[in-house]
Structure 1
C-alpha cells in the first residue's frame, strides 16, 4: 500500500469513527433512560434535603416541587417571602414533605451567613440553583435607553446581574460542597441558558453570566467527580417563564414543569445538558450557523425590538 492510499484510508477511517460517535451521541440524547438510567430512589439516596434557590417562581419553583415529589424535603430560597410561603404550602399539601423557607436577596452581599446557618444541620443531597430574575430585563432596558440614564445606575444593574447569576452560584457551592464532600455524594444543578453557546448581541451581559455558569460547573465537576459528587450545568432554550414573557408553550418552548421533569432524566448524562431532546437538537442547529450572522445589524435590531416588546408586555 503506497503512502497516498494509506493517507486516504486513514482519512476514511477517521470519518467513519467521527460519524459513529455522532450517531452514538444522538442515541444517548434520544434514549437517556437507557444510557443514563436514574434508579428509583436515586435522589433521596443523596440525602434527605434538596436546597433550591430562586424557588418562588419559574424553573426554581418547579424544581422544588418536582424534587419533593421524588421524596425529598426542600429548603427553598428566594427574596419573596409571600411567594415562598405559597410554594411551601403547595409542597406540603401535595407531597407531605417538610419545607424550610429562607428569605434572601442574592443581589446583596450580606445574605450568605444567614443561609449557611439555616442549612448547617440539614442532610443536603441536592443543590439546585437558578439565578435569573427580572434583573435581566432591567439591564436590557438600561442598554436600550442608556443615553437617558446615569452611569451609576447602569453599574448598579450590572452588579445585580453579576451578584445574582455568578457570585451567588459560587458562594452557594462553597456552603454546600463541604457537606457533600464529607459524605462523598451529592448533586449540584446550576441552571444556565442555551443562549450561552452563541454570541448574542443585545443579550450580552446575561449570556456572559451564563457562560460563566457553564464553565464553572464543568471545571468543578472535573474536580469533584472522583468524590462522588455530580455537578451539572443545565442550559435550556425556550421555557415559559418571566424571562420569555410567559411565552405560550410550543415545539421548542416548555412549561416549567415539563422542562424540569425531562431535565432530571439527564442528571447522569455529564457536566452539561440542554435538558431535553428538542433543546439539544436546537443547540446542534445553532452550532452550524456562522457566528457572523449573529453580529448583523438586522439581527441586532430584531433582538432589540424583541426585548422592548417583552419589557412592555411585563410593564417593567
Structure 2
C-alpha cells in the first residue's frame, strides 16, 4: 500500500515537473521570438524591404496617431504616400509636412470611413498606382465603455463602428489586391488591437471588430502567400494618441512614432505581432493567464476594469450636464 502511494506521488511529481518545464519552454520560446522579431531580424536585414514592394504606400486614418506615424515612416523609407482620412485640412497639413521633410510625392483622399458609399471614389483615385504597401489603420471605438443596449443612438453608432473597423479594411484590401497580385508583390498591414485576444465586455462590438481583423489577416496571408503578398496583423496596446487620450509617453505607452518604427522591424518576420516589445510582453502575460486561469476569471477582471471606467465616464457626463 505504501509502495503504491509512493509510486503515485512520484508520478504526480513527474507530471508537475513536465508541466512546469513545458510552460517555461513555451514562454522562453515566445520571448525569444519576440526579441528576434523586434531586434535581431532588423539588425540582420531579414525584415521586408519596403521599397521592393512598390512605388506607393496607402495609409488609412493617416492624420493622427499610428496612421500618421506610418505615413511618415514609409515616406522616410522612400515610398510615395496616399493619405486617406476624413478631414481635408488635416490631410493637406500632413501631406505638406511629409513633402517638406522627405521630398516624396503624396496624394490625399478625403473620405469618411463610417460611410459605405465611398469606395467607388477611392478605387478611381488609386487606379494605375503601383501600390506596394497598404496600411489599414483607420478605426474607432466607443466614447466610453457601455452595455450594448444602453449605447446612445446605439444602432447608428454600431453601424458606423462596423463600417469603420471592418468594412474599410475589407474593401480597401479588395481594391489594392488585384494590382499586387498582378505584380506578384505587396504588403498589407492590418492594425488590430490587444483587445482582439480576449473578450471585452462593455466594448463588445469594438473587441469583436478587432478579432475579425486578426482572423481575416491570418486567412488572407495563407491565400496570397504564393503570390508573394505579405499580410501582417499588428495588435498594439496603448500609445500616445487622441484615441487613447494618453498625452505623455511611458514605457508601456510609447509615442506613435516609436511604436511604428518598432513594428516595421517585424514586417516580413512576424505575421502576428504586438509590434512593440513591451506590448508583446502584455500579450505573453494575457496568453499565460488564459492558459492557467479559468476563462471566466480573466474576463471578470477585464469586466471589472471597464465597469470602473464606465462609472467614471457617467459621473463626468453628469457633472457636465449640471454645469450646462
What is the TM-score of this pair, normalised by structure 1? 0.85
Give the drift of 1:295: 2.5
Say whether 1:121 aligns with 2:128.
yes
Residue range with higher mean Cα deviation, 242-251 or 287-296: 287-296
| C-alpha contact 1:41 1:70 (8 A) present in aligned 2 | no
Equivalent residue number for residue 40 of structure 2: 34
The runs of 5 or more residues in structure 1 that have no matched partner are none
Cα separation, 1, equivalents of 2:314 and 2:148 = 8
SS of alignment partner, residue 232 of structure 2: strand
Give the drift of 1:31: 3.0
Equivalent residue number for residue 184 of structure 1: 184
Equivalent residue number for residue 160 of structure 1: 160
Deviations 1:183-202 (A, max 9, x none): 11110001010121112221
Give the drift of 1:90: 0.3
Equivalent residue number for residue 233 of structure 2: 233
| C-alpha contact 2:146 2:203 (8 A) present in aligned 1 | no
Cα distance change on mapping 1:41 and 1:34 into 2, 3 Å? closer
Equivalent residue number for residue 248 of structure 1: 248
Cα separation, 1, equivalents of 2:196 and 2:312 = 18
Equivalent residue number for residue 299 of structure 1: 305
Cα distance change on mapping 1:17 and 1:295 into 2, 3 Å? closer
Give the drift of 1:87: 0.3
| C-alpha contact 1:92 1:98 (8 A) present in aligned 2 | yes
| C-alpha contact 1:137 1:311 (8 A) present in aligned 2 | no
Give the drift of 1:14: 9.2
RMSD over equivalenced CA pairs, Å: 3.1
| C-alpha contact 1:56 1:83 (8 A) present in aligned 2 | yes
Cα separation, 2, equivalents of 1:310 and 1:261 = 36
| C-alpha contact 1:38 1:268 (8 A) present in aligned 2 | no
Cα separation, 1, equivalents of 2:81 and 2:132 = 10
| C-alpha contact 1:144 1:304 (8 A) present in aligned 2 | no
Equivalent residue number for residue 54 of structure 1: 61
Deviations 1:33-71 (A, max 9, x none): 434654698111111100000001111011001100000
Cα separation, 1, equivalents of 2:22 and 2:198 = 27
Residue range with higher mean Cα deviation, 105-114 or 286-295: 286-295
Equivalent residue number for residue 146 of structure 1: 150
Cα distance change on mapping 1:112 and 1:302 into 2, 3 Å? same
SS of alignment partner, residue 241 of structure 2: coil
Cα distance change on mapping 1:141 and 1:40 into 2, 3 Å? closer
What is the TM-score of this pair, normalised by structure 2? 0.83
| C-alpha contact 2:83 2:108 (8 A) present in aligned 1 | yes
The runs of 5 or more residues in structure 2 that have no matched partner are 1-7
Give the drift of 1:15: 7.6
Listed as ranges, the matches of 1:1-316 within 5 Å are 19-20=24-25, 22-32=27-37, 33-35=39-41, 37-38=44-45, 42-133=49-140, 136-138=141-143, 140=144, 143=147, 146=150, 149=152, 153-289=153-289, 290=293, 291-293=295-297, 294-295=299-300, 298-305=304-311
Give the drift of 1:142: 6.8
Cα separation, 1, equivalents of 2:220 and 2:58 = 18
Cα separation, 2, equivalents of 1:70 and 1:308 = 45
Q: If you compute each CA radius of gyration, which structure gives the higher value, 1 or 2?
A: 2
Deviations 1:125-168 (A, max 9, x none): 000011223xx234x47759938x5xxx3111100000000011
Give the drift of 1:292: 2.0
Cα distance change on mapping 1:246 and 1:177 into 2, 3 Å? same
Cα distance change on mapping 1:219 and 1:155 into 2, 3 Å? same
Cα distance change on mapping 1:172 and 1:29 into 2, 3 Å? same
| C-alpha contact 2:92 2:108 (8 A) present in aligned 1 | yes
